[in-house]
Amino acid sequence: MCRDLYVHFPFCRGKCRYCALHSRGGVAQSERDAYVVRLAGELGGLFREGFLAPCLSSVYFGGGTPALCDLSPMFAALRGHLDRDCEFTVELHPLDVSGSLLSSLADGGVSRISMGVQSLSDETLSSMGRGYSAAEARRAFDIVAQRFPNAGIDLIVGYPGDIERTPPEAYSALREWGLSHCSVYAIQNERALEGVASDDAVLDAIEEVSAILGSFGLERYEISNYAVPGRECRHNLAVWRGADYFGLGEGACGRIGLKRTRNWASPSAEEEVVSEDFDRKERRLFSLRTKWGLDATGFPEWRQALGRHVEAGLLSDAGGAYRLTKRGREVCDAVLSDLV
């Protein structure tokens, strides 16, 4: 039984210029309502059939923009199925934020907010198509933080011109936001934007942002994620620590035993069964992305490759716990591919 649930809401006001995620804009309210009702009905079956544990440790509503939907059917379906200390996260767009919305989220059991700010430059935000200024994002987060002490933001590094427009002091100002969490992603240029920063420039900028966040208490606990100790995202930790998690809805992925699922409860649902050997390795390898590193005990077949990466300066070895070095974080995918 899964104790961690991810639900995807693929609706947006409009597609941002950089975004290649599973989302779409301009969807009628009636279609969004029907989607939520369908997922809420599916949830009941998942609890009855034992796919989901009777009480969940973490719930994560991602998108897209979940708040474009009436979430009350989902809250009703989850009522009575949340652990007393369940971490229930909802992603918000700064334009979503209102007192009434935050009250409805809290009443539905939500305990954590992740707000997609993406940039601290007004010019970049306008170019991205985000629809707000940096000051407006700050005001929205202030409202969120008053109601949800466990709240954080997402930022993207490398959008055309953004590194030049966003000096270190802009990130230093985040000290005053009261963040408990911050995700900092290198842009994935899947939409072939012109003028995207070079890999080296992006990596240098991320290291600079990392140092700034660390200076006011946000520790880098995963390649792209920083948190006040104890405020690490519980859903993401479940994924990186090799737990099962259930993915519900269009664009949602899940891991249940040897099954890998995608788009559960949609017409394009997919399911793959992997080998026991692949499953065992995948669950262990995700931990290499974290500050705790990879415990390679029980995997003698990795010893040679791990030693090679230690010699190359990509990994450190502290008594069998392998951790990515600064250089290793830059090429993590290559290291993981070598081990798989």
| pLDDT score of 22 | 82
pLDDT digits (tens, 9 = 90+) for 15-27: 888 887 888 888 9
Burial category of 31 from C-beta neighbours within 10 Å (exposed 0-12, middle 13-18, buried 19 and up): exposed
| pLDDT score of 23 | 86
| pLDDT score of 258 | 97
Other beta carbons less than 10 A from residue 219's beta carbon:
15
| pLDDT score of 18 | 85
Q: Residue 13: is its pLDDT beyond 80?
A: yes
The answer to whether 96 and 110 are in contact (CB under 8 A) is no
Q: What percent of the chain has pLDDT over 90?
A: 88
Most confident listed range (10-19, 186-195, 243-252, 311-320)? 243-252
The pLDDT mean for the chain works out to 95
Q: Residue 284: is its pLDDT beyond 90?
A: yes
Sequence-ordered list of residues with C-beta below 8 angstroms from that of 48, at least 6 positions apart, any chain: none
Angle of helix 332-339 relative to helix 276-285, nearest 10 degrees?
150
Kindly provide the residue ranges of all beta strands, DSSP E only, lying in 167-308, ordered along the sequence: 181-186, 219-222, 225-227, 246-248, 253-256, 259-262, 270-273, 294-295
Q: Residue 169: is its pLDDT beyond 90?
A: yes
Q: Residue 314: is its pLDDT beyond 90?
A: yes
pLDDT bracket for residue 320 (50, 70, 90): confident
| pLDDT score of 1 | 87
The answer to whether 182 and 153 are in contact (CB under 8 A) is yes
| pLDDT score of 16 | 86
Q: How far apart are alpha carbons 239 and 232 in whole angstroms? A: 12
| pLDDT score of 60 | 98
| pLDDT score of 17 | 84
Q: Residue 192: is its pLDDT beyond 80?
A: no
| pLDDT score of 25 | 87
Q: Residue 135: is its pLDDT beyond 90?
A: yes
pLDDT digits (tens, 9 = 90+) for 69-122: 999 999 999 999 999 999 999 999 999 999 999 999 999 999 999 999 999 999
pLDDT digits (tens, 9 = 90+) for 207-244: 999 999 999 999 999 999 999 999 999 999 999 999 99
Retrieve residue 154's tokens. Answer: 């997402």
Q: How far apart are alpha carbons 140 and 129 in whole angstroms? A: 17
| pLDDT score of 315 | 96
Domains of the chain from N-terminus onward: 4-238 (3.80.30.20), 276-340 (1.10.10.920)
| pLDDT score of 59 | 98
